[in-house]
Chains A and B, each alone.
Chain A
Amino acid sequence: MFNYNFRWNQALSSLPQMLEGALVTIEIAVLSMAIGITVAILLTLFRLSGSRPLSAIATTWVEIARNTPALFQIYMVHFGLGGFGIHLSPYLSLLIGIAFNNAGYLTENFRGALKAIPETQTRAARSLGMSPIQAFQNVILPQMLRISFLPMTNQMVWAILMTSLGAVVAMNTDLYGVTSELNARTFRTFELFAIAAVIFYVITKAITLSARLLAARLFRY
């Protein structure tokens, strides 16, 4: 049945390179989440500000990010902006593409989280003499982040999985890019990608588990 010679040692000898690639993958995902969360908080503020143009910017961003494929977004960042003369390295294109996507989804998550926080909190904070920004920063934001913790973890896992799309913008230092290059040289497709799949699984499970542990510590009551 198996008319195929498995050459596992050939694939396993490339394991160090793939692990280096895995580090780059994690790095991109973490950075894109950091940027994504920051932008999402900003967009949430835009929405809360009540100003029409700012709200529109936030809504446009969210709707584009959530209604078009991530692959399309990453391709656009590299080649679309390139048409305007803005040159971004593959690393940056991938990072910005994923961050754009993250920001959109996270803003939506934050919106859902805000609905669970009663209005009375803001009013109480304001009546204590806090400015709107202070009220948001000290009272609303922590609660919002806490409620959104699980969706944010999911988004982080998504970010890790999205790094595999970097191949279309010539990204060859993340885990998928390294595996792809090795494949182009040796054609051991099944062995190489099976190992890559295992590494991805381990990374995502590690993230989910550590998030759960973190949640148990942070949100103890």
Chain B
Amino acid sequence: MFDTALTANDLVFLAKGAGMTLLVTASSVFFGTILGILFGVIRYQIGPWWATPMTLVLDVFRSIPLLIQLVLANAFITTVLGLRISGFAVACGVLSLYTAAYCAEIVRGGIEAVPQTLRRAARSLGMTWGQDMTYVVLPLATRVALPSWIGLALGVMKDSALVYIVQVVELLKSTQILITRLQEPLFLLMICGLFYFLISFPIARFGGYLEKRWSND
């Protein structure tokens, strides 16, 4: 049906780009979530007033375009500090902080959604703060936070397309490289878009399903 010059070799090349996208996404979401949970819990514990400096700093990551964050981090680390780091490391670092900034909010919202009465009951039963967090807050907060977190993870996957700016060859850049050689922009872009769609759509639907199931309607 399609008369194309695309070879199996090229599909492998695209697959490598896709693998890079997934790798960057997975690393960033992993580290970002850990940091996000940390920041979220800290922010909840010490209250909004004391946490203002941290909130302001995290807010910066949500108010500046990701492209600029990547370029700035790259320029700062490599040119100003003179450290030799791969583009991949810069990309993961910036995306992790970006994820953490959003995740902190999600985590905080999740913790706040746990009724205070339940938590006080747990403490009055003799649980330590740690036990309270692990056995009472964690399950309930996760229910509230998970759909938003899934949305965040998918958002990071889509934003991973921007890491081409620090010379990481991910899926969209690989597609552009092939377009240069093969001159079939529409066809190749369709494949690229299809990949993102096929990963994002089912997971997003699943997140929606979870949200419906766990809501209190």
Contacts and interface: CB of A to CB of B under 8 A. Distances in A.
A71 interface: yes
B82 interface: yes
A204 B63 contact: yes
A66 interface: yes
Interface residues of B, number: 34
Interface stretch (A39-47, A119-127, A143-151, A191-199): A191-199
A193 B63 contact: no
B161 interface: yes
Interface string A184-205: 0000011001101100110011
Give the interface size bracket for A toward B.
Answer: 35 or more
A200 B197 contact: no
Interface stretch (A76-84, A89-97, A130-138): A76-84
Contact of A71 (B75, B76, B162): B162
Contacts of B81: 1-2
A157 B62 CA distance: 9
A113 to B, nearest CB: 15
Nearest to B160: A69
Contacts of A72: 161, 172, 189, 192-193, 196
A68 interface: yes
Interface stretch (B33-41, B64-72, B88-96, B114-122): B64-72
B10 interface: no
B72 A190 contact: yes
Contacts of A63: 197, 201
Interface in B50-99: 60, 62-69, 71-72, 75-76, 79-82
A201 B60 contact: yes
A164 B64 CA distance: 10
Interface in A95-133: none
B80 A66 contact: no
A189 B162 contact: no
Nearest to A202: B63
A63 B196 CA distance: 11
Contact of A200 (B65, B159, B193): B65
A200 B68 contact: yes
Given A165-B67, A201-B64, A69 B79 contact: no
8 contacts: A71-B161, A71-B172, A72-B172, A75-B172, A76-B193, A80-B185, A164-B66, A176-B68
Given A1-B82, A4-B79, A69-B158, 16 more contacts: A2-B80, A66-B204, A67-B201, A67-B204, A68-B193, A69-B196, A72-B196, A79-B189, A83-B186, A157-B62, A161-B63, A164-B66, A176-B68, A190-B80, A193-B75, A204-B63
